[in-house]
Structure 1
Amino acid sequence: MSVIRQPGVLGRTTRQRVVGLTAALSAAALETLAVAIWFGLVVGSRTTSTALAGLGILFCGALLRAGVFGATVNELGELLEPRRLGAATILTGGWIVWLLLAEQIGGQEGVVLATLALAIVLTAQFEYERRVFGHRSIRDTSFTPIVPAVLLAVGASALLGSAWFIDWTLTSPPIALEITTVVIRIEAVQLGGVVFGLFAFIAHQRRFQRLLSHC
């Protein structure tokens, strides 16, 4: 029977898509903002204060993203409950290992190996979130989030590559305003952040849609 003759099915599917898109946009925005700020603080002249500040921002972003996931696939719950702290800790550790591994190996080989390691950690972290936050129908599904993890890791490699291997800046001609002159400056790493945000949205959207289809 066509779903057009089953408005309940059609309405449920539409709600799932809307919820999935909204959750993916929220999760991607939080992840992009946290990772971009952390990356900007530690990729340049790294000091103890910037490292600690970046770590705090990265962890808070991971904690909020875990909250978005939990509220989407089950219920809101307490933000600082142990399982959310565990999910945030795994995610934060994955990003730190990713950058340290890339720096230790160096060059394109370092980016490739770090991206592979990040994809493995993200797969495990996504799976952990599914099992501890999802209700029974989601926990019982056989969906393994390898593709979302790889997409997010590839986006991260674009961010790292834009900072390490692309050295250009696009500057606009001076724009005269009433009381000042403005020059728009766009750097490669900023575009890398945009690419990362796009990949993060696609990764989370794919993950949410697959899981919500089992609700």
Structure 2
Amino acid sequence: MATIDSGERSSLAGLRVTGQTLLMLAFTLVETLALGLWLTLVESAPVISATSAIGLGVLSLGLVLEHVLTDATVNGVSASVLPDGQVVGVSVSEALLWVLWLGVAERVGGVDGVLVAGGLLAVLLVPQHTVEDNVLRDVDPLQSVVDLGTVGFSVVEAAGATVWLLLVFEGGQFAGPLATVGLGGVDPAAVGLGALAVVLFIEHDIGVALARKG
């Protein structure tokens, strides 16, 4: 019987890590684009409107795909073919959190509104991420609703969202700092979305590691 030597095992492990990293990059890109398109569609639109409903649908579909790819990263590609009810459920609930986040920011207004909304998002993402982690580990989604292991990357994601929305809503106030770092000619909203993508990748890396430990 043929055996696999240490060199082959190392190569296989390297390929596995590379594949997982590419999947994380893929679902980070999917989530970033879904959020960016959603905000472009619904910014300043009434909460109860066809535009907002379309935006929610776009965001929900993007998050479903993101969660399917996350499941493939954690449990293997063969584990995720089509999204099940739990994946759809956590995707829609997360989309509604983003809707609430934006609504609070717009209702309060200004920098204060973005900061208040960011704090609220950080708190609400902890149970959201806990339930998502339960789904990834194939246990009862409500087995626990607050896992302290999700606090760190929930705060990271909320911080990235706050930076993004500040640059979208209050971009003019950051013209000086952006020029200082060589981004003076770039649309602040694009810079914010890029920053969000980096933060989401960090958040996903932490979240995937937590799910694998389970």
In 1, Cα distance between the equivalents of 2:11 and 2:151?
A: 29
Aligned to 1:164: 169
Q: How does 1:1-215 map to 2 (within 5 A)?
A: 14=14, 17-44=17-44, 48-74=49-75, 75-79=79-83, 81-135=84-138, 144-167=149-172, 186-212=186-212, 214=213
Q: Does the CA contact (< 8 Å) of 1:24 and 1:205 recur in 2?
A: yes
Q: Greater helix share, 1 or 2?
A: 2
Over the matched positions of the two proteins, sequence identity in percent amounts to 24
In 1, Cα distance between the equivalents of 2:109 and 2:90?
A: 28
Q: Does the CA contact (< 8 Å) of 2:136 and 2:211 recur in 1?
A: no
Q: Greater strand share, 1 or 2?
A: 1
Q: Deviations over 1:165-193 (max 9, x none)?
A: 11288xxxxxxxxxxxxxxx731111111
Q: Does the CA contact (< 8 Å) of 1:20 and 1:209 recur in 2?
A: no
The CA deviation at 1:106 is: 1.8
CA-based RMSD? 3.0
> Highest Rg: 1 or 2?
1
Number of aligned pairs?
191
The CA deviation at 1:24 is: 2.0
- TM norm structure 2: 0.76
In 1, Cα distance between the equivalents of 2:148 and 2:16?
A: 17
In 2, Cα distance between the equivalents of 1:164 and 1:14?
A: 42
More displaced stretch, 38-47 vs 60-69: 38-47
Q: Does the CA contact (< 8 Å) of 1:70 and 1:134 recur in 2?
A: no
In 1, Cα distance between the equivalents of 2:209 and 2:10?
A: 15
Uncovered stretches (5+) of structure 2, i.e. residues with no partner: 176-184
Q: Quick one: higher RCO (CA 8 Å, sep 6+), 1 or 2?
A: 1
In 2, Cα distance between the equivalents of 1:10 and 1:123?
A: 36
- TM norm structure 1: 0.76
